[in-house]
A and B are shown apart, each in its own frame.
Chain A
Amino acid sequence: MDQIVFAVILGIGIGGLYAMLATGLVTAFKGSGVINFAHGAFAMYTVYVYDELTKSGTLVMPWVDIIPGHSPNIPVRIHLADSLGSAAATTVALLMACFLGLLAHLLVFRPLRNAPALGKVIGAVGIMLYLQAVASLNFGAEARQNPGFLPSTSGDKAFFTNFLGLGNLPHLIVWMAGCAIVMGAAVWALLTYTRFGLATRAADENEKGASLLGYSPQLLAGLNWVLSAFLAGVTGLVVIGLSSLQVDRFTLYVIPALGAALVGNLTSIPLAVVGGFLIGMFQSGMVEVADQSWWPAWLPANGMRELVPLLAIVLVLFLRGSRLPIRGSIIQRRQPLALATDHAWVGLGVGLVLVFLLSNIFTGAWEVSLTTSLVAGMIMLSSVVLVGFLGQISLAQTALAGVAAYTAIRFASNGKLGPFDLVAVDGPGWPAPIAFVFGVAAAVVVGLLVGLPALRIRGVQLAIVTIAAVGPIGNLLLQNESLYSTAAQATMPVPKPHWFGVYVSATDPQTNTTDYWHFTAFAVVVFALLGLAVVNLRRGATGRRFLAVRANERAAAAAGIDVARTKMLGFAIASALAGIGGIMQAYRLGAVQVETYSLFAGLAILAFAYLGGITSVWGAIIGGLMIGGGLVSQTIGHFSGEDFNAYLAIIGAIGLILTAILNPEGIATGTALTVKALWAKARGRAPTEVPPAPEPSEPTAAAGVSP
């Protein structure tokens, strides 16, 4: 028991990290009403800048020069000195953090100030993806170590020797906890006792009222963004010695930090700090608990630790959902239009012909790109239904695709070792179509569980729940040996699928190359069927109910729509679509890992679906074409002779942000609207569907709560 207690106490270090990040998240939310999913990315970039300054004296700006050596030569690396001392590097790095916050406000969130919740989430996700991609390019993949500047984090002596008779408490842990408390207290005092803080709170509670008092809500928002980014930078620098520097790791810290911020109701910094400590201590304690002999092996310890933030988030949202603050803006833009697709059969016919032509003309790498686009498009269709039609922001669709794939593999496997398999997967060896159905059913079950909180919450809060759910789905389910055999920890080989006697894997049975035309044809048919289903869903009564719920849940309920049932139906349909895409992904790859269905893979799916047009099937098609490894990147790479994949993530992130700001309908619907408008103009009459003026929105629209 002592060991468990001490492990819990040791969690104050990591809890301090969450508390510091939560302080910054609350600051940004109070200042602008945005939940900043990119907060961890701000910390990450600041830390990398600091590391580079201390090692080479070079300031690395947060952008890249895509065509180095050609005009305009954008300065990316500015050499300041051979190497900078800790104090100077800290100053410059924190200035960079402030710069990032200012840029985020001016370029992204100020233009998005009146956008619906989805637009703001997409904006934040876009910044996160952008900073990750830029950092990867500018700083490289190699893990970096930096001792940081906290005093005496190394050496034989602990900060507290034999603390409470339990063990030694290291310096770094105590310092991190102390820094979190100091940061929380300082920001709390700033927001409580200064004129700036009072003005911020006024704008937070009533933007219009603050304007009438002479405060500029946008100026206050800008200042709070700078403050929030500064706090992120400080957090990064405080914990720099805690672990190696990795681009994605800092980004992921934001998930437990969001849980902590929600404990603080997104407004209370002291409670957010407490929340951070609690989550960190629970996570640390779980390491020791799971090490006990009585701990059941079927519950992976790592998954349980990741479950802690999710449970905290769900608990808080359930208990306090109706009292969570809403930052309404004076005007709110409407949701993206979800046009009904006309002449779907014509589109289907043209599409099928095109794809069959492509699959016969382009083989090898082109065929792989084609199937990459098709399968990504299938998973994007689930986002079209759930996010585009129903307005429920889910970041877990790709994880659900993984559930379906792993389940289908398990049921289709027979325990025999294939010639190139590392580990055999035990299973009943069911025919592929039956395993397929069970895989999809598993995705629906897990999808409904993930969607349950949507009965009480929606918008950005649901996005938080779903992003927090991805970790446990991966670690608790997919990597669970009890569920999916020992292969779950490494690579799951996919049994060769036959559907009614026809081999439908992408792996050529003769050459083992992954460009077999059977799969291409199968994927085309499946995508066509799914696309038609989604088109009909949108056109039918169910689709109209979805749109009604998306527009205004209270009005929908008043009109006799069972909102809860409609939401669950949406989650079930979307999960099934994601599941089908996930299994097709497995058929395509021949072997899958949990990373195939990771959070970042899911974010890319959502991002490109939004870019293509989150409210239409054509959006999924365009998004699929644009996804990394899809036909667009293959075409660019082929004709340019350059490998643009490294830049594709940056281009995608910028495109995502621009889409959120300028064209929330995405490429597909935006183009359709333009074409319709031009066609109508050419025929001398008004278009039938024109983007309406901003609709008056209910006050719950930003972070709304279900009735």
Chain B
Amino acid sequence: MLLGLVLVAAACGSDKGSSSDTTAGASATTAGGAETTAAAGGGTTAAGGETTAAASGGGATGQLADDSRDGQGATAFETAVNSTKDKPLKATGEPFVVAMPNLEGDAGGTFPDVREGAEAAVKLINDQLGGIGADYEKGTPGRPIQLKVCSHGLTQEAAQKCANEVVAGKPNLIQIGIDFFTPLFYPVFQGIPTLQTLPIFVADFDQPGVYSAIGGCPTAFISAAQFMAETKKFDKLAIPYANNAPGNQCWTDTQERFYQYYKDKGVWDFKGFPDEPGDPSDNAALIQNVADFLKDAKNPGIFFGVQASDCVEFLKGLKAAGVNADVVVSTACVDDTVLALPESKGMNVELQGYNVADPASLTDFAKWELDVRDKAIDAYGPKAAKSNFMNDSFSVVLWGWQIANQLIADGKDPFDTKALGDALANLGSYHVVGRPPVDCAGAPEEYQSICYRSATYLVWDGTKYTADPDLNNKYIDVTELMNTVAKSNPRKTG
């Protein structure tokens, strides 16, 4: 079960998976060739404010950010970094408390990288960016962020203790790290604005007052449905999925009803194959079932969502069983062993966030801010191995910081939990460091906590990733599909 949860986390996020965020492409750029210029002058000075003085320009020599493209606050972030690059501004005063429950210390599921990503962001904010509400024109610092991490093991008891501890600390904002007990947290966290690093459970998808800058499982699986139906145009789709609590939740909520929608439109026939994750006793027969189901298809497809534990054997076995179907996978089915298989050649891999495997697809601003992020993490000196979870956690802390700055810029108080919550709920296109912009206000009701809802698909050619030729690095925005299916086939609650 625990492994199943780890796999779900992998499926919904991108720990060290396919391609994305960690390596290439994040090189610093000094070019001033900004594609846009964005608003300059006036207004506030805190990073995250609607506009900035932008006195020192972007990147090294010029302004790179464009709020209309990179989200509101992008220019402000660029300004904040550049203003403090040579003269760091250290935050002072009463801290803004961010509490973070996180799974750690239990070998069954431990994410110290998430904590360290958050700590790196806090260090950057407090030691260089001047904290919350800094005035870069005047050079006056704002308030520091105090990160209170509650690391806990993989039991309900430990999680509940942590939840109690978190609220006892009276935080101004909660950032949930990676946690498999979030449904237990939400009743306790009521009334406190909460950022979710990785939405995994259905409870994470539609929780009032909870927001995620990462698309998680809904974006991963629903974008896969749209990609397979509209781009790949499969006429028969087989979906092995994990027959455990999180697997069944994901299947019911983010997969089956979307596949059914396309089936009702006459696009395809589909069938789910519940598999005991990690238990090989049913694999051979299931593979045969998949082969039987797909045998008369003209353009068959297979999707591995929450199915990583057995996907190696599935990939190998399907070929041996004579199945020649296109394979689409979530990041849960991507690791060195999978990529080394000859059967993995040609499979499509889901990607949320920037495609750093293809630097040409990145804007100069994206390259610049990825470099800022990587250098900040390096400067912090994490003990855990770098991972995309670390990057995501870093980005989410900065997201919260930017929103708090935004409130100050709007003349409001970030210590006012209601004001902070309202600000999150009403975010339009908003900047997240190192990631494409998010949109909380436009989130469908069933997925009201999911502020990022786009993904693209890459092709693994056996040695490297390339853009899917039909998508060509274009991102699929699943908001419309979410809204449509919510009407035709709403979430089951009984």
Contact = CB atoms under 8 A, between A and B. Distances in A.
Given A243-B310, A280-B281, A645 B106 contact: yes
A406 B188 CA distance: 24
A170 B316 contact: yes
Contact of A170 (B108, B161, B321): B321
Interface string B305-332: 0001110110011011110000000000
A646 B107 contact: yes
Given A422-B202, A643-B105, A513 B167 contact: yes
Question: Main secondary structure on chain B at its contact with chain A?
Answer: helix
Nearest to B110: A141
Contact of A147 (B274, B282, B337): B337
Given A242-B313, A243-B279, A420-B203, A595 B168 contact: no
A643 B102 CA distance: 14
B163 A598 contact: no
A75 interface: no
B106 A513 contact: no
A158 B320 contact: yes
Q: Which of B168, B492, B494 has the most CB of A within 10 A?
A: B494
A515 B278 CA distance: 36
B337 A146 contact: yes
A417 interface: yes
A155 interface: yes
Contacts of A372: 157
Contacts of A369: 157, 161
Interface string B1-39: 111001100000000000000000000000000000000
Contact of A137 (B107, B160, B248): B107
Given A143-B6, A154-B316, A155-B320, A243 B285 contact: no
A243 B280 contact: yes
B371 interface: no
A491 B245 contact: yes
A365 B186 CA distance: 18
Contact of A3 (B1, B3, B292): B292
Contacts of B187: 419-420, 507, 512, 590
A422 to B, nearest CB: 5
A552 interface: no
A575 B370 CA distance: 58
A244 B494 contact: no
B3 A246 contact: yes
Contacts of B342: 154-155
A241 to B, nearest CB: 8
Contacts of A143: 3, 6-7, 278, 308-309
B165 A643 contact: no
Contact of A422 (B153, B249, B312, B341): B249
B338 interface: yes
Nearest to A136: B107
Given A143-B308, A368-B157, A368-B161, A305 B317 contact: no
Interface string A496-529: 0000000000010001111100000000000000
A168 B324 CA distance: 14
Interface in A11-51: 11, 13-14, 17
A480 B136 CA distance: 61
Contacts of A338: none
B240 to A, nearest CB: 12
A426 B492 CA distance: 13
A17 B279 CA distance: 12
Interface stretch (A106-114, A212-220, A284-292, A699-707): A284-292
Given A171-B320, A645-B153, A646-B107, A287 B165 contact: no
8 contacts: A3-B288, A168-B320, A170-B320, A243-B283, A284-B282, A368-B160, A512-B190, A593-B1
Given A167-B321, A243-B279, 19 more contacts: A10-B284, A13-B284, A141-B110, A154-B316, A157-B320, A158-B321, A170-B316, A246-B278, A283-B282, A422-B183, A423-B492, A490-B245, A512-B190, A589-B160, A629-B153, A643-B105, A643-B153, A645-B105, A646-B153
Top 7 A-B pairs ranked by shortest CB distance? A145-B337, A136-B107, A287-B285, A10-B284, A512-B187, A629-B157, A170-B320
